[in-house]
Amino acid sequence: MRLVVVVVFVAVAVAASAARVPHTRPVTPLAVPRSPVTVWDSVYSTNQASRGETAYVKFCARCHQASLGGADQSPPLAGSAFLGNWNGLTLADLHDRIRTTMPSDSVGIVDRQVVTDVVAYMLKANGFPAGTAELPSDMDRLKAIAIQSSRP
């Protein structure tokens, strides 16, 4: 009987103590893993691609051709050859390559945002869907967007 009284007393004391002490640590739900973002997730806008086309004509078309098909030493920027070279890489990789190596005769003259707009135009030319938001020019955000040649 004495053991029962002690057990009941301890149980009541613990319950009363818990009722008086507020829960100070927030309960967070388990993190749900996000699917990776790809170029198939409508990561650029049509307006941005239009600006990118204008910039492409000004800075890129003389070497890569109006069709983005490439010529001589300039690789194609659209189609299976382009996608085969960039599949599995990120938009940050592509953006960085353009920004640090193009135009070949005057590297670095194109502003980061203009390069981003050109990348949006390249996405459009490769058949990736447009969305409502513009492609960001922030490299950390571009690193999170994978180039994937085929629809997931």
Domain locations along the chain = 37-146
Where residue 75 falls among pLDDT bands split at 50, 70, 90?
very high
C-alpha–C-alpha distance, residues 104 and 92, integer Å: 19
Longest alpha-carbon distance in the chain? 96
Higher pLDDT, 108 or 2: 108
Residue 14 has pLDDT above 50, yes or no: no
Q: What is the pLDDT of residue 30?
A: 53
Higher pLDDT, 13 or 142: 142
Reported pTM: 0.78
> Domain 37-146: which topology?
Cytochrome Bc1 Complex; Chain D, domain 2 (1.10.760)
Residue 23 has pLDDT above 60, yes or no: no
